[in-house]
Amino acid sequence: MSDTQRTGRPVRPTPLLPEAGAAGAPLTIVVAILAFMASLALIGNLVVDRAVEDWTSELTGTVTVQIPGEEPAAIDQKAEAVVGLLEQTDGVIGVTRLDRAETEALLSPWFGAGGLPDDIPVPALVSAEVTAALRSDLKPLRAQLTTTAPDAVLDDHGTFNDRLVAAATRLASLAFLVFAMVIGAAAAVIIFAARAGLAANRSIIEVLHLVGATDGFVAHQVQRRYFSLGLRGGVAGAVVAALVLFFAASFGGGGDGVFLPRLGADPALIAWLAIVPLILCAVAAVSARVTVLRTLRSF
Q: What is the pLDDT along the chain (299 residues), one digit of tens a residue?
A: 444 445 555 555 555 555 544 456 888 899 999 999 999 999 888 888 877 776 666 666 788 888 888 787 888 888 888 888 888 888 888 888 887 777 777 767 666 666 666 667 788 888 888 887 887 788 888 888 888 888 888 888 766 777 877 888 888 889 999 999 999 999 999 999 888 888 877 888 878 778 887 888 888 888 888 998 899 999 999 999 988 888 877 765 545 444 455 555 577 778 888 999 999 999 999 999 899 888 887 76
Q: Residue 48 has what pLDDT?
A: 82
Q: Residue 233 has what pLDDT?
A: 92
Type of residue at 30: V
Q: Residue 299 has what pLDDT?
A: 65
Residues 6+ apart with CB under 8 A from 186: 31, 34, 35, 38, 230, 280, 283, 284
d(CA 260, CA 48): 9
Distances (CA, A) of 231 to 187, 237, 250, 254, 267: 14, 10, 28, 30, 21
Q: Residue 297 has what pLDDT?
A: 79
Q: Residue 13 has what pLDDT?
A: 55
Q: Residue 256 has what pLDDT?
A: 46
Helices (H), the chain: 3-7, 25-59, 72-87, 100-111, 132-136, 139-148, 158-200, 202-210, 215-250, 267-271, 275-296
Tell me phi and psi for residue 251, to 5 degrees.
-105, 20
Number of residues in the chain: 299
Q: Please state the domain extents for the chain.
A: 18-56+165-296, 61-156
Q: Of 264, 279, 201, nearest to 234 (Cα)?
A: 279
Alpha-carbon dihedral angle through residues 275, 278, 279, 281, given to the nearest 10 degrees: 160
CATH code of domain 61-156: 3.30.70.3040
